[in-house]
């Protein structure tokens, strides 16, 4: 990885969604590698003093053309994150902006002949399954309706490859990702939701189901490294999975949190546990882009918790 990062020194890199969960990690890695980094988002947050932060709306095609012009590499991570209830209740609020952002950014990269581009899709673009493999990636409807927008971005890149013979666009589908910079509230994904409820003093923390459901929890920095590797190596005109490569039960997750945070919890077996197993196969990513996630669940949880507690303390 160190040798690869040396190749980014002096390169002009644009990171859309650079203030987000994964984007801020990409920005840090690129800045430390000596790249000239610009981020663009609708958040007025400075994630790294070495980067230039641009406030702007990717739904504007002219803005997208302007910010991608003259760039060497574009990391397109911008998207919209919401709870299951939010995306189901107001699907247009998520689907339409994502369609517009993806179309505009990818087209601007094509028009401006950006050297390399990586597009971040989602595990939600898969149809429901126990194990997600790239060979099954376009079968069935996406698990999340709003992830039709993610699939359309993938198809846009396929159209470029077919019509213009462009092979400089890489695609990744990350697993459920957690880490510093996440959205910590009771309606968020399982890890930030649990942390939010623990810090709020809920006693005991009530967890739906019996804890047997298995999930793939990927730490944000590991995923960020995978995205950089995907841009460097390319993904052979398709997409690759970026997960942890390991499955953990919800019970194991809670016990890991409880090993360094003092809180009481109880499993409510009268409530559903959710889909029994959802795990990403990352063997293709290991082969094509030499992806190697190294952060253990416990270490990732500790770093995430410490960041969350510190940020909450700064707001008080």
pLDDT tens per residue, range 14-31:
999 999 999 999 999 999
pLDDT-derived band at 90 (thresholds 50, 70, 90) equals confident
Domains of the chain by residue range: 2-178+217-245+277-294
pLDDT over threshold 50, residue 160: yes
Q: What is the pLDDT of residues 224-273, one digit of tens each?
A: 999 999 999 999 889 999 999 899 999 999 999 999 999 999 999 999 98
Other Cβ atoms within 10 Å of 25 Cβ, number: 26
DSSP state of 254: H
At a CB cut-off of 8 Å and minimum separation 6, what does 278 contact?
A: 123, 129, 130, 132, 214, 215, 216
pLDDT-derived band at 81 (thresholds 50, 70, 90) equals confident
- Assess if CATH 3.40.50.720 describes domain 2-178+217-245+277-294: yes
Q: Match 């302007």 to its residue by tokens.
A: 66
Lowest mean pLDDT among 40-44, 265-269, 282-286: 40-44
Higher pLDDT, 186 or 223: 223
CA distances from 271 to 131, 210, 268, 306 (A): 24, 8, 6, 30
Q: Averaged over 272-284, what is the pLDDT?
A: 93
Tokens describing residue 139: 């079968």
Other Cβ atoms within 10 Å of 237 Cβ, number: 15
In the chain, what is the straight-line distance between the N-terminal and C-terminal CA atoms, in Å? 39
CA distance 236 to 258: 42
Q: Match 């609020």 to its residue by tokens.
A: 93
pLDDT-derived band at 316 (thresholds 50, 70, 90) equals very low
pLDDT over threshold 60, residue 315: no
CA distance 292 to 160: 29
User: Which stretch of DSSP H or E encloses residue 199?
Assistant: helix 190-199
Averaged pLDDT score across all residues of the chain: 94
Q: Model pTM?
A: 0.95
CA distance 18 to 76: 9
Q: Match 């960020």 to its residue by tokens.
A: 224
pLDDT over threshold 90, residue 134: yes
């Amino acid at each position: 990885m160190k040798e690869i990062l040396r190749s980014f020194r002096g390169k002009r890199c644009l990171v859309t969604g650079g203030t987000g969960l994964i984007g801020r990690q990409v920005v840090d890695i690129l800045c430390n590698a000596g790249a000239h980094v610009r981020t663009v988002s609708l958040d007025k947050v400075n994630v790294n003093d070495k980067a230039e932060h641009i406030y702007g709306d990717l739904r504007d095609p002219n803005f997208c053309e302007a910010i991608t012009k003259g760039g060497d590499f574009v990391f397109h991570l911008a998207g919209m994150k919401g709870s299951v209830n939010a995306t189901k209740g107001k699907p247009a609020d998520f689907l339409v902006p994502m369609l517009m952002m993806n179309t505009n950014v990818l087209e601007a990269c094509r028009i401006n002949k950006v050297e390399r581009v990586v597009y971040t899709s989602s595990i939600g673009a898969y149809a429901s399954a126990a194990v997600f493999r790239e060979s099954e990636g376009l079968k069935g409807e996406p698990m999340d309706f709003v992830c039709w927008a993610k699939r359309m971005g993938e198809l846009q890149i396929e159209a470029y490859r077919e019509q213009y013979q462009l092979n400089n666009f890489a695609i990744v589908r990350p697993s459920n990702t957690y880490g510093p910079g996440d959205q910590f509230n009771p309606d968020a994904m399982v890890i930030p939701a649990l942390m939010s409820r623990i810090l709020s003093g809920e006693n005991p923390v009530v967890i739906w189901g019996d804890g047997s459901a298995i999930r793939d929890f990927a730490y944000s920095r590991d995923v960020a490294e995978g995205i950089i590797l995907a841009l460097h190596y390319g993904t052979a005109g398709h997409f690759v999975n970026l997960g942890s490569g390991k499955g953990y039960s919800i019970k194991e997750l809670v016990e890991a949190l409880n090993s360094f945070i003092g809180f009481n919890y109880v499993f409510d077996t009268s409530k559903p546990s959710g889909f029994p197993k959802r795990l990403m196969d990352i063997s293709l990513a290991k082969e094509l882009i030499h992806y190697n996630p190294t952060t253990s669940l416990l270490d990732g949880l500790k770093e995430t918790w410490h960041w969350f507690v510190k940020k909450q303390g700064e707001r008080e």
